[in-house]
């Protein structure tokens, strides 16, 4: 509508838009300024007359009738009209423009007004926010059952303009006006039933009321009933009929309907999916100042849907929508600043926008804010802030936030550790359809965290998601391995590696192959290498050992060294031990007892008994270091505690030597 109105400037050759005061369904009131020295003020009422079925002559007859009424009963100086065309350049309506100065309204006494003037004069005062004067006029109209006056009175009580806000009184006026044939009042009343505002929510009643304007092709009626049909609210879902009504409303200039058409094409609802058509309607609605369409247009540019990907344009449209305080657009803007999409990266700006949308109550912004704080540990009390916003989002039903809250409780992050609370939030996430919760609840039962240990329940829960979460399949495999059910264990380890390589399961399969159980030698080596390439340190050590000793593969000291070293980088104690052994005996490397001792100590710190024994040996016999019987005894005792029985013999020798 805005774009169309601007095409008519200058109105009556001399008047330019100063402000659009009111934009109703088929009637728009515009304050205009004349292009003279004084820039005198006037008003233009624009009345739109549409019809998809009548020819131009019939539409003109309707316009002439409206003009006659306005000339006879209202105070307009001049008239002009413009044709309205659809996208195919077919004439579907006429915009009638009427010019008034209204300079004498302030001079009129109420008793001088005729019933036909009550609404017009009241609207004049209303548009100037002189609500007391407007109410006097509208109440006079109420006495003679003027439907427009009744409808406006309902609106003023709904919004608390000049009167104390009262939804019940508003509904009473809307009902009166609706019974007298006002489709605007019918739609306003329907809105109360749609959202359950001071009345029990009733979609069927709302749909019935919205439908009262269908015969008149009232744009809001077309749009609202289309929305109900689209979502099956109070009526059987019918996507094709919904699309048809959105089209009708859009052709009549209803901006929300234009945006809705974009959504229909985007998601293929009632029409074949077509991103380019969706882009077209979003763009059209954006230029008509639809906040949601601006956001949608930004998202299309962001993702390259129906257009070339353009992050700068995406940022521009997100910003335009954010100016209208659209929470989802503010959140998108924050994301642009956080990741530097279409604008220079600015974490502080991102935080400001996330906070703005989160404080507006937008649940996705609250979740994003929780994640932002989680990722920015440099911020003071970041985990506490993260937990706070995850918890806020979870209270609004965000299942991902519930998972995060459960994890924080389980690990004592940003809050006091509470495994019972963690279990409780995993249960809540499951109730909201979060399948990942099956996995976490399975772990809780498996390890007895926050609930009594029950491995049977754990495996039953994990089995529900093992095809989606490979770690669930791995844990089930381990469960059967502990029960010595080889066939079932192998079966579940194989499930764990179906979608992607799960390194622990690959390694377990390799171990079965090493024992010659259900896995061939070629399969075994394939599993082992795949696990090693995923960086699983036990697999790195085992493959290095094979290379060192020429088992299953050709002997290769250099490659073996590299695999042992990779295992050490992952803090694998067996890897430390083997490199200590290499340097102690000079295997594949020059003998270096100092380096050997360093690696042995690292392995010993992780309670690897063989490494502790070798350290005891080196101190006992002064091999590569100064002889130190006290330290020798300490390391022998440590080795014995960790299961090295040979250490006892050396401890006995130490006692004899004393």
End-to-end C-alpha distance for the chain, whole angstroms: 103
What percent of the chain stands above pLDDT 70? 96
The CA–CA distances, whole Å, from 90 to 3, 52, 55, 56, 423 equal: 18, 10, 10, 10, 63
pLDDT score of 25: 63
pLDDT digits (tens, 9 = 90+) for 354-401: 999 999 999 999 999 999 999 999 999 999 999 999 999 999 999 999
How far, in Å, CA of 337 to CA of 352, rounded?
Answer: 10
Structure-token pair, residue 91: 């004439």
Q: Which residues, in sequence order, are CB contacts of 232 under 8 Å at separation 6+?
A: none
pLDDT digits (tens, 9 = 90+) for 528-549: 999 999 999 999 999 999 999 9
pLDDT score of 298: 97
pLDDT above 80: residue 229: yes
| Chain centroid, CA 219 distance in Å | 31
Categorize the per-residue pLDDT at 1 as very low, low, confident or very high, splitting at 50, 70 and 90.
Answer: low
- Cis amide bond preceding 10, omega within 30: yes
∠ at Cα 291 (96, 125), nearest 5°?
Answer: 45
pLDDT above 60: residue 104: no
Q: 328 and 353 in contact (C-beta within 8 Å)?
A: no
Residues 122/125/126/131 CA torsion (nearest 10 deg) = -100
**Topology given in CATH for the domain delimited by 1-103:** Phosphorylase Kinase; domain 1 (3.30.200)
pLDDT score of 100: 84
Residue 72 burial class via C-beta count within 10 angstroms: exposed 0-12, middle 13-18, buried 19 and up: exposed
∠ at Cα 143 (138, 147), nearest 5°?
Answer: 60
| Chain centroid, CA 353 distance in Å | 15
Please state the rounded mean pLDDT for residues 21-33: 78
pLDDT score of 108: 59
pLDDT score of 38: 66
How far, in Å, CA of 82 to CA of 12, rounded?
Answer: 12
Q: 338 and 372 in contact (C-beta within 8 Å)?
A: yes
How far, in Å, CA of 533 to CA of 119, rounded?
Answer: 80
From the CA atom positions of the chain, what is the Rg in Å?
39
Q: Which residue has the tokens 């991102």?
A: 350
Q: Which residues, in sequence order, are CB contacts of 313 under 8 Å at separation 6+?
A: 298, 301, 342
pLDDT digits (tens, 9 = 90+) for 437-493: 999 999 999 999 999 999 999 999 999 999 999 999 999 999 999 999 999 999 999
pLDDT score of 14: 82
Q: Which long-range contacts (CB under 8 A, 24 or more apart) does 229-235 make?
A: 230/260, 230/264, 230/269, 230/270, 233/194, 233/203, 233/206, 233/207, 234/202, 234/203, 234/204, 234/205, 234/206, 234/207, 234/208, 235/203, 235/204, 235/207
pLDDT score of 92: 80
Least confident of 66-75, 120-129, 225-234, 489-498: 66-75
Q: Which residues, in sequence order, are CB contacts of 476 under 8 Å at separation 6+?
A: 459, 462, 463, 466, 492
Q: Which residues, in sequence order, are CB contacts of 447 under 8 Å at separation 6+?
A: 453
φ, ψ of residue 213 in degrees (nearest 5): -95, 5
Q: 298 and 321 in contact (C-beta within 8 Å)?
A: yes
Q: 401 and 390 in contact (C-beta within 8 Å)?
A: yes
Q: 548 and 557 in contact (C-beta within 8 Å)?
A: yes
- 3-class state of residue 474 by DSSP: helix
Run of H or E including 16: strand 15-23
| Chain centroid, CA 373 distance in Å | 17
Q: 208 and 225 in contact (C-beta within 8 Å)?
A: no
pLDDT digits (tens, 9 = 90+) for 397-431: 999 999 999 999 999 999 999 999 999 999 999 99
Per-position b or e across 471-489, b if 16+ CB within 10 A of its CB: bbbbbbbbbbbeeeeeeeb
Q: Structural domain boundaries of the chain? A: 1-103
Run of H or E including 47: strand 41-50
Least confident of 42-56, 311-325, 519-533: 42-56
Q: Which spans in 232-346 are helix H? A: 239-251, 255-267, 275-287, 291-303, 311-323, 327-339
| Chain centroid, CA 566 distance in Å | 40
Q: Positive or negative, the Cα torsion across 204, 210, 213, 215? A: negative
pLDDT score of 233: 96
- 3-class state of residue 253 by DSSP: coil
Least confident of 3-12, 395-404, 499-508: 3-12
CA atoms within 13 A on the CB side of 465: 19
Helix axes 255-267, 275-287, angle to 10 degrees: 160
pLDDT above 90: residue 655: no
What percent of the chain stands above pLDDT 90? 76
Largest separation between any pair of C-alpha atoms in the chain: 128
pLDDT score of 113: 75
pLDDT score of 269: 96
Q: Which residue has the tokens 């006995």?
A: 652
Residues 55/56/61/63 CA torsion (nearest 10 deg) = 130
pLDDT digits (tens, 9 = 90+) for 295-306: 999 999 999 999
pLDDT digits (tens, 9 = 90+) for 50-103: 765 667 888 888 888 888 878 776 778 889 999 888 767 788 888 999 988 754
pLDDT score of 8: 86
Least confident of 28-37, 464-473, 509-518, 630-639: 28-37
Helix, strand, coil: what percent of the chain each, to 5? Answer: 65, 5, 30
Instruction: Name the nearest CA neighbour of 643 among 611, 609, 617.
Output: 609
pLDDT score of 53: 64
Please state the rounded mean pLDDT for residues 335-341: 96
pLDDT score of 109: 67
pLDDT above 70: residue 644: yes
Give the pairing type, strands 27-34 and 15-23. Answer: antiparallel
Average pLDDT along the chain: 92
Q: 270 and 277 in contact (C-beta within 8 Å)?
A: no
The CA–CA distances, whole Å, from 286 to 222, 259, 261, 265, 298 equal: 20, 8, 13, 16, 10
Please state the rounded mean pLDDT for residues 43-49: 86
Categorize the per-residue pLDDT at 107 as very low, low, confident or very high, splitting at 50, 70 and 90.
Answer: low
How far, in Å, CA of 3 to CA of 311, rounded?
Answer: 26
- 3-class state of residue 33 by DSSP: strand
Q: 325 and 339 in contact (C-beta within 8 Å)?
A: no
pLDDT score of 52: 59
Residue 46 pairs with which residues in a beta bridge? 28, 97
pLDDT score of 61: 86
Give the pairing type, strands 41-50 and 78-85. Answer: unpaired
Q: Which residue has the tokens 């642009």?
A: 336
pLDDT above 90: residue 575: yes
Please state the rounded mean pLDDT for residues 342-361: 97
pLDDT above 70: residue 106: no
- 3-class state of residue 37 by DSSP: coil
pLDDT score of 438: 96
How far, in Å, CA of 235 to CA of 162, rounded?
Answer: 38
How far, in Å, CA of 390 to CA of 249, rounded?
Answer: 40
Q: 594 and 603 in contact (C-beta within 8 Å)?
A: no
pLDDT above 90: residue 123: no
pTM over 0.85: no
Q: Which residues, in sequence order, are CB contacts of 374 under 8 Å at separation 6+?
A: 382, 383, 386, 404
pLDDT score of 56: 85
Instruction: Give the Cβ contact number of residue 460 at 10 Å.
Output: 14
pLDDT score of 648: 93
Instruction: Name the nearest CA neighbour of 265 among 303, 237, 300.
Output: 300
pLDDT score of 27: 81
pLDDT digits (tens, 9 = 90+) for 149-196: 999 999 999 999 999 999 999 999 999 999 999 999 999 999 999 999
């Amino acid at each position: 509508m805005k774009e169309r109105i601007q095409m008519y400037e200058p109105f009556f050759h001399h008047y330019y838009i100063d402000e659009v005061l009111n934009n109703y369904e088929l009637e728009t009131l515009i304050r205009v300024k004349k292009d003279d020295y004084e820039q005198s003020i006037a008003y233009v009422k624009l009345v739109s007359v549409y019809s998809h079925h009548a020819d131009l002559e019939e539409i003109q007859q309707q316009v002439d009738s409206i003009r006659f009424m306005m000339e006879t009963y209202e105070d307009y100086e001049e008239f002009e009209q413009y044709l309205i065309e659809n996208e195919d350049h077919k004439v579907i309506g006429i915009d009638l423009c009427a010019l008034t100065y209204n300079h004498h309204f302030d001079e009129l006494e109420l008793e001088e007004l005729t019933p036909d003037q009550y609404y017009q004069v009241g609207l004049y005062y209303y548009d100037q926010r002189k609500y007391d004067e407007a109410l006097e006029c509208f109440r006079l109209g109420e006495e003679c059952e003027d439907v427009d006056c009744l409808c406006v009175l309902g609106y003023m009580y709904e919004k608390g303009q000049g009167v104390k806000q009262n939804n019940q009184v508003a509904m009473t006026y809307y009902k009166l006006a609706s019974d007298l044939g006002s489709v605007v009042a019918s739609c306003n009343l329907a809105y109360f039933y749609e959202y359950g505002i001071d009345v029990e929510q009733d979609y069927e009643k709302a749909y019935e009321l919205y439908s009262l304007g269908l015969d008149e092709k009232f744009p809001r009626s077309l749009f609202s009933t289309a929305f109900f049909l689209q979502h099956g609210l109070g009526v059987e879902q019918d996507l094709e009929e919904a699309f048809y009504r959105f089209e009708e409303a859009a052709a009549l200039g209803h901006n929300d309907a234009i945006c809705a058409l974009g959504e229909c094409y985007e998601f293929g609802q009632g029409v074949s999916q077509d991103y380019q058509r969706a882009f077209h309607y979003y763009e059209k609605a954006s230029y008509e100042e639809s906040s949601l369409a601006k956001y949608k247009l930004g998202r299309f540019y962001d993702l390259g849907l129906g257009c070339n990907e353009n992050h700068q344009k995406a940022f521009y449209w997100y910003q335009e929508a954010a100016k209208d305080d659209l929470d989802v657009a503010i959140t998108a803007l924050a994301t642009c600043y956080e990741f530097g999409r279409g604008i220079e990266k600015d974490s502080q700006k991102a935080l400001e926008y996330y906070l703005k949308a989160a404080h507006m109550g937008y649940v996705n912004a609250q979740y994003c804010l929780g994640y932002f704080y989680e990722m920015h540990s440099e911020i003071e009390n970041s985990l506490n802030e993260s937990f706070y916003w995850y918890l806020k989002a979870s209270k609004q039903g965000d299942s991902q936030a519930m998972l995060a809250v459960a994890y924080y409780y389980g690990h004592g992050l940003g809050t006091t550790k509470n495994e019972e609370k963690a279990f409780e939030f995993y249960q809540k996430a499951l109730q909201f359809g979060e399948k990942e919760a099956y996995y976490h609840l399975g772990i809780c039962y498996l390890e007895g965290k926050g609930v009594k240990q029950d491995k049977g329940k754990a495996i039953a829960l994990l089995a529900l998601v093992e095809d989606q979460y490979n770690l669930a399949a791995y844990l089930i495999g381990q469960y059967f391995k502990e029960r010595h059910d080889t066939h079932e264990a192998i079966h579940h380890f194989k499930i764990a590696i179906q979608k992607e390589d799960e390194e622990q399961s690959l390694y377990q399969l390799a171990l079965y192959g090493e024992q010659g159980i259900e896995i061939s030698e070629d399969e075994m080596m394939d599993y082992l290498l795949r696990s090693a390439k995923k960086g699983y340190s036990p697999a790195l050590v085992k493959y290095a050992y094979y290379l060192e000793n020429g088992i299953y593969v050709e002997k290769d000291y250099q490659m073996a060294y590299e695999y042992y070293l990779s295992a050490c980088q992952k803090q694998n104690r067996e890897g430390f031990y083997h490199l200590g052994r290499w340097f102690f005996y000079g295997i594949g490397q020059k003998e270096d007892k100092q380096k050997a001792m360093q690696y042995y100590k690292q392995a010993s710190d992780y309670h690897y008994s063989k490494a502790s024994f070798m350290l005891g040996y080196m101190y006992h016999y002064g091999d590569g270091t100064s002889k130190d019987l006290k330290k020798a005894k300490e390391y022998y005792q440590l080795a014995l505690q960790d299961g090295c029985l040979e250490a006892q013999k050396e401890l006995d020798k130490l006692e004899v030597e004393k």
